[in-house]
Amino acid sequence: MLPVRSRIFVAIFTLCVLLAACDDDTTTGPLQGKSGSMARFVLAKDHLYVANETTIKVFQVEANGALTSSGAVEAGFGIETIFAKDDNLFLGADNGMYVYSIANPAVPKFVSFYNHIMACDPVVVQGQYAYVTLRVSDCRTTGFDAVEVIDIRNLSSPVRVSSYATETPYGLGVDNNLLFVCQGDGGLKVFDVADPANVKQVKHYTSLHAYDVIPNQGVLLLTGNTGIYQYDYSDVLNIRQLSHIPVAP
Amino acid sequence: MIRKTIKLFLFAALGLVLSGCPPGDPYPEFPVDEVEGYKPVYATDAEASIEFQEARPLKKPGKIYVYGKYLLVNEQSQGIHVIDNTDPSAPKPVGFLRVYGNVDMAVRNNVLYVDHIGDLVALQITDLNNIQEISRISSWSNDLPPADDSALEWERRGRYFECVDPEKGKVIGWILTTLKKPECYR
């Protein structure tokens, strides 16, 4: 038996080693890319998750990057998009938003379902809020097109904070106080979401087709039928176009 | 495929009986003469293989993905444009990765994950001119034409399609055209 002081030393030493190991995980993490909100693939916790209509297909990423199938989880219906944040997956589905826990990465586990009747919708998450677009045009016969802000502090019971009518929204992206919403032929709308209960429109680009966006460190990447556009949004008051790759005639 | 279609009919009929609700569309009749529908596009294994090629213009851009200095742009069901985006005000085309049937992608540690004609494939892309396939998992059927993705399951506006003949090769896509006496429907 070690003297008390030595035991305390061993305990502290062990704790330090454990903490350092955790630190290492984050600093030497894998180099990973970033998708738009319409993605059906997402990489998280050494797994690739694929949203596939009614299931989440789960694949383990081996050390060399190869995939092995870990099975599938029946999730809902009409699952169109998938977004990962920390220990959770957020699925945009035909009838709402599903939240699944990946605390055990091999087996996503149902946490909650946020029902918004019927709409096509991707979802993105930042901090304690989820942002969802509801597109009814060309898609559903009832309801209206909107962007919703949902409070997800309590993941098992998401609550709507606010809702804003937009035209035919598709993909969306959020970075700090800016929310970018694609509206197909209706172009791109930029909202200020500093106050989630009081979202304000900042800008509306109309002369392009907008399908999906990726906000990436001050540069917004946008894809649509009219090509690829990039915008500098580092100065909120002076968002400017950087480039446009057009589609071939 | 015909058997599948019959099963589908029975299923739909059962649904009708159980729900008592009329479907969104009347059930199709067979045979039909000329009708708009999907026709499979075939390719041989070699033609359908993944290949890094010269850059080509965007035609129907789909989803996008950012990885380090690279911007990846899906060309709907054709592959992935690889663009050097070191300077976002002057993106430079690097090449085109031909991946038929592709819709989605993700990258981690220089491994690109793509859907390729029903398979989920992992590609080592450290050297774009020497891409190595490191795993391939058959994950989806590519033998059905695209569903009308904007409609509800029970409201889907169905389409006739030309039944797939595996003898002709792999189905790498579908085109909407006028069909003569098609025998499949979804």
Rounded distance, CA B184 to CA A28, Å?
Answer: 53
- Taking the alpha carbons of B131, B134, B138, B140 in that order, is the dihedral positive or negative? negative
Average pLDDT, chain A: 86
Confidence of residue B36 (pLDDT cuts 50, 70, 90): confident
CA distances for B31 relative to B51, B179, B181, angstroms: 41, 12, 6
Within 8 A of A218 by CB-CB distance, chain B residues are none
Return the ∠ at Cα B158 (arms to B152 and B163), rounded to 5°. 135
Rounded distance, CA B8 to CA A198, Å?
Answer: 48
**Cβ contact, residue pair B65, A34, below 8 Å:** yes
**Is pLDDT above 70 for A145?**
yes
Mean pLDDT of A71-87: 90
Q: Are residues B115 and B134 in the same domain?
A: yes
Please, which residues have CB within 8 angstroms of residue A141's CB and are 6 or more apart in sequence? none
Share of chain B above pLDDT 90, in %: 47
**Cβ contact, residue pair A38, B140, below 8 Å:** no
Q: Are residues B28 and B58 in the same domain?
A: no
- Tokens describing residue A218: 């001050």
Q: Are residues B73 and B132 in the same domain?
A: yes
CATH code, domain carrying A111: 2.130.10.10
Q: Widest CA span of chain A, in angstroms?
A: 81
Is A101 part of a structural domain of the chain?
A: yes
Q: Are residues B39 and B72 in the same domain?
A: no
The pLDDT score that the predictor gives to residue A111 is 96
Is A18 part of a structural domain of the chain?
A: no
pLDDT tens digits along A193-249: 999 999 999 999 999 999 999 999 999 999 999 999 999 999 988 999 999 999 998
Among chain B residues, CA nearest to A33: B67
Measure CB to CB from residue B106 to each of A48, A52, A247 and give the nearest one: A48
The pLDDT score that the predictor gives to residue A136 is 66
Q: How far away is chain A from the Cα of B122, in angstroms, using its nearest Cα?
A: 6
Using an 8 Å Cβ cutoff, are A39 and A49 in contact? no
Within 8 A of B109 by CB-CB distance, chain A residues are 30-32, 65
Which of A62-76, B67-81, B170-184 comes out lowest in average pLDDT?
B170-184
Q: Which residue has the higher pLDDT, A175 or B138?
A: A175
**Cβ contact, residue pair A214, B66, below 8 Å:** yes
- Tokens describing residue B122: 């992992």
Residue A177 sits at φ, ψ, to 5 deg, of -90, 5
Q: Are residues B112 and B77 in the same domain?
A: yes
Using an 8 Å Cβ cutoff, are A229 and A241 in contact? yes
Mean pLDDT of A66-85: 92
**Cβ contact, residue pair A248, B137, below 8 Å:** no
**C-alpha torsion angle, residues B127, A32, A221, A182 (rounded to 10):** 130
Which of A52-61, A162-171, B54-63, B103-112 comes out lowest in average pLDDT?
A162-171
Best-predicted range by mean pLDDT among A7-16, A71-80, A117-126? A71-80
Is A16 part of a structural domain of the chain?
A: no
**Is pLDDT above 80 for B13?**
no
CA distances for B170 relative to A232, A234, B52, angstroms: 43, 47, 20
**Cβ contact, residue pair A228, B91, below 8 Å:** yes
Q: Which domain holds residue B146?
A: 2-43+142-185
**Cβ contact, residue pair A39, B104, below 8 Å:** yes
Q: How far away is chain A from the Cα of B124, in angstroms, using its nearest Cα?
A: 8
Q: Widest CA span of chain B, in angstroms?
A: 61
CATH code, domain carrying B115: 2.40.10
The pLDDT score that the predictor gives to residue A142 is 52
User: pTM of the prediction?
Assistant: 0.82
The pLDDT score that the predictor gives to residue A11 is 52
Domain count along chain A? 1
Q: Which residue has the higher pLDDT, A176 or B139?
A: A176
Is A28 part of a structural domain of the chain?
A: no
Q: What is the ipTM of this complex?
A: 0.85
The pLDDT score that the predictor gives to residue B151 is 40
Domain count along chain B? 2
Measure CB to CB from residue A41 to each of B67, B71, B113 and give the nearest one: B113
Q: Are residues B58 and B132 in the same domain?
A: yes
Q: Are residues B181 and B125 in the same domain?
A: no
Average pLDDT, chain B: 82
Confidence of residue A110 (pLDDT cuts 50, 70, 90): very high
Pairing of strands A188-192, A200-205: antiparallel
* Burial (CB count <10 Å: 0-12, 13-18, 19+), residue A154: exposed
**Cβ contact, residue pair B63, A38, below 8 Å:** yes
Q: Give the 3-state DSSP-derived string for chain A, with helices as H, strands as E and coil as C.
A: CCCHHHHHHHHHHHHHHHHHHHHHHHHCCCCECEECCCCCEEEECCEEEEEEEEEEEEEEECCCCCEEEEEEEEEEEEEEEEEEECCEEEEEECCEEEEEECCCCCCCEEEEEEECCCCECCEEEECCEEEEEEECCCCCCCCCCEEEEEECCCCCCCEEEEEEECCCCCCEEEECCEEEEECECCCEEEEECCCCCCCEEEEEECCCCECEEEEECCEEEEEECCEEEEEECCCHHHCEEEEEECECC
- Enumerate residues 62 to 121 of chain A having a beta carbon within 8 A of any beta carbon in chain B: 62, 64-69, 77-78, 80, 94, 118, 120
pLDDT tens digits along B58-98: 999 999 999 999 999 999 989 999 999 999 999 999 999 99
The pLDDT score that the predictor gives to residue B140 is 79
Q: Which domain holds residue A180?
A: 33-245
Share of chain B above pLDDT 70, in %: 79
pLDDT tens digits along A6-17: 555 555 444 444
Q: Are residues B149 and B92 in the same domain?
A: no
The pLDDT score that the predictor gives to residue B31 is 74
Confidence of residue A20 (pLDDT cuts 50, 70, 90): very low
